[in-house]
Structure formats: C-alpha cells, structure tokens
Amino acid sequence: MKISDNTSYRKVYPNTLKDRQFKNYYQFNCIFFASALFPLLAVGLFNIVIDPYGVFNSPKFASINQTKPEQQKHSRLYKAMDIIRIKPRIILLGSSRVETGLDIEHPAFKDKKITYNLGLEAANTYELRQYFNHALVQQPKLEQLIVGIDFFMFNEHLKNRVDFSEERLKNKIPTQDILNTSLSLDAFVSSKNTLLINLTHQSPNRVSKKIDRFKFWLGGFLSNEELYKNYSFSPERLNHIRTIIDICRKNNIDVKVFISPIHATQHEAIRVGGLWSIFEQWKRELVKIVPIWDFSGYNSVTTEPISDDMKNYIDSSHYSRQTGNLVLDRILSYQQESVPSDFGILITPENIESHLAKIRADREVWARNNPDEVKLVQDIKHEVEAKENEFKR
C-alpha cells in the first residue's frame, strides 16, 4: 500500500501519531516533575538531617548539627513538639529567665527524662497558660509544676510572640509546621547557617563585655512598651496565673511559684521608670492567689557587683545556672544549708507588707553603697529619653 500524504497515513494508522505524542508528553512530564521534585526532596532531607530547630529529634553529629543557634528563635515551635514526644511529668515554666537559669539535671529531680524546661522567651501569662494546658493534655499524670514569674509578663502591652500558634498546641502537630520546618526556604537557610557554624566552630556575635550586656538589657527594658515603658498592669494576665494554680489544685499537681532573682540594677530600672508602686502592688495581688517564693530584692545574690567575672548573672535580667541551682535548692528543700539565708523568702498575705518595707530599706543601703550602679541606670534612662525626644522632632 502506498501512502502519499499524512492524511492517508492517519487513515491507515489512526493511533500511531497519538500514541507517539502521548508517549512524548508523558516522558516530558516525568522528567519535568522529577527535576522539580528531586531538589525539593533533597532540601527536605537536608533540613531533617541538620534539624536546625530541633523539631525532628534527629541524631546530633559533631561538626555538623551539634550546635543549634537557630533553635532559640523557634522555642515555641520545638517545645510544643517536645511536649508531645516526651510527655514530661515535671515542668519548669516561665520566661527566658527560667530557660537559661533552671537546670533539669538538678539533683533534686531524680529522673531528668521526665523533667522538661518550658521556659519561653518574652512570654506573657496567656502563653504560659496555653503551654501548661498543652502539657497537661499530653501528660494527664503531671506531678509537679515550677513557675517562674516576672513583672513584665503582666504588662497588657506584651503581645503574644510572632511564633506563638494556638494550632500547634492541640493534639496533633500542624501540617503547616511540618512543611515549614522541612521544605521551606527559611528552614533551608537555617540549616545552612547551622552547618556552617558547626563546621567553623564559630559562635553567633554577642555582646561580650558584661557592662555592655547590662546596658543593652536595661536600655531595652526602659525603652520598650512591651516591658517597662508605659507599663500597664493587666488583671486579666493575673487571672491566667490564678487559672493555672486552680487547675493544679484540682489535679493534685504540686505547684511552686517564684519571682525571678533579677539583678539590683534591674530593680533600679523599675524604680527610675516610675513603676515601683505598681511593682509592689503586683506582689500584693500575687500572694492573694498562692504563697510565692520571692528571690527579688536586694540580697547577697542580687547585689553582686557588675564585672566580667560575675558568677550569679548573665546580664541584669538573666541569672546564671549557679543562681538557678540556689533557687531550686530553696523551693525544693534540697541542701538548703548551701543557700544564703537572705535569698528566697516565702511571701504570703500575712508577711507581704513587712517584706516590701524591708526591700525598700535594703534598697536605700544598696544605693548608698553602690552609687556608680545607681548612676548607670539613671544615665541609661536619660539616654532613652533623649533618643525619644530627638525622634519626636
């Protein structure tokens, strides 16, 4: 048979061209999708192996992913997942002061596998309540809750952090979180940075001199509306603590609450910020809810002179593990002979007024003996005000 044109060809072999075209399209699509999918899978595998946020519990390897500098920026993410995985029976709850200062390996905790540090950077009391609820859902047999509270937590201007998510505090890890931590560009960049830091053994740039760290934090508290600037005490934030205590009592959970041992200069920032009377009223309201261990004030720990050799403090706001161990020693009745007698007072409605009066008297003594530190805080306050006035112009 002679085929003279394409029309005749199609009549004789009606499916041949279509089959070939289909096959070509199929091959093209396979190559296209494979070429697109392979890099995506490679990125996902890379992110899971490096695990920059610590959400996949991937094995740690020296010079690869042992140090995780990006993790701190995503504590609300990985700690929500840790709670699901670990189901701890002892929780240390609070802000970054708890996170950096309290040690789950303290000898008073006999089993560190069931103890978890749930400190969250710049957390308000609503966030604490939600994470406590999350922990209780995952572990109905929660045995003990230790809560470190801070004055700034009760400021109504302190918003939930951008990485806070109600969705991830439910029973399942949200699909969006899984995608964001495995396949996103942000996760890839974090993995790359993590690998680079581990390979070069470099640490992120930080303010090194202690006096500079103190200036940085004191200035930050005095200039930030979410902290001390224009502070507004929130009864609603107080109610979140009341709810946590009520739940603990109903569920026979041993709960202990303490006020963080901030440095004396941090107290001075509260004073020069015009917040001292509110600070005292805050304590009065707290003791109506539950007896509280107060480690603030002017004592042998909090009045440590500022120097590069400080043992008790990282900066004006954050205390060291050494200080945190003393806090746990006191509230857990562990080797209390090692704790300075003036460090940690259990305050109640019966002794709150005498306690506040003593702190006022102690402040006068400290101020007379430490004029340079008093002046440091005053100078920082003046610098903050000067910058604000200049900005208004």
- At residue 165, the pLDDT reads 87
**Residue 110 within a domain:** yes
Q: Rounded CA gap, 374 and 225, in Å?
A: 22
Residue 204 tokens read as 């992120």
How far CA 98 is from CA of 2, 28, 52, 277, in Å, comes to 89, 57, 22, 25
Considering the domain architecture, whether residues 10 and 108 belong to the same structural domain is answered as: no
Considering the domain architecture, whether residues 351 and 216 belong to the same structural domain is answered as: yes
**Residue 25 within a domain:** yes
Considering the domain architecture, whether residues 228 and 330 belong to the same structural domain is answered as: yes
- At residue 32, the pLDDT reads 52
Q: If we measure between CA atoms, which residue out of 149, 189, 99, 171 comes closest to residue 282?
A: 149
- At residue 3, the pLDDT reads 45
Stretches in the chain below the pLDDT threshold 50 = 1-4, 9-10, 12-13
- At residue 279, the pLDDT reads 98
Judge whether 182 and 45 are in contact, CB under 8 Å: no
- At residue 1, the pLDDT reads 44
**Residue 185 within a domain:** no
What is residue 131's three-state secondary structure?
Answer: helix
Considering the domain architecture, whether residues 36 and 94 belong to the same structural domain is answered as: no
Considering the domain architecture, whether residues 161 and 208 belong to the same structural domain is answered as: yes
Q: Residue 45 is part of which domain span?
A: 6-50
- At residue 168, the pLDDT reads 82
Considering the domain architecture, whether residues 227 and 329 belong to the same structural domain is answered as: yes
Q: How many domains does the chain have?
A: 2
Any residues with CB less than 8 A from the CB of 339 and at least 6 apart, and which?
326, 329, 330
Q: Rounded CA gap, 119 and 115, in Å?
A: 12
Considering the domain architecture, whether residues 297 and 362 belong to the same structural domain is answered as: yes
Strands 345-347 and 292-294 come out as antiparallel
Across the chain, which distance is largest between two alpha carbons, in Å? 116
**Residue 39 within a domain:** yes
Query: In this structure, what CATH number is given to the domain that contains residue 128?
Result: 3.40.50.1110
**Residue 233 within a domain:** yes
Considering the domain architecture, whether residues 99 and 43 belong to the same structural domain is answered as: no
pTM, full prediction: 0.83
Considering the domain architecture, whether residues 309 and 160 belong to the same structural domain is answered as: yes
**Residue 24 within a domain:** yes
Considering the domain architecture, whether residues 158 and 10 belong to the same structural domain is answered as: no
**Residue 145 within a domain:** yes
Q: Rounded CA gap, 138 and 258, in Å?
A: 25
**Residue 187 within a domain:** no
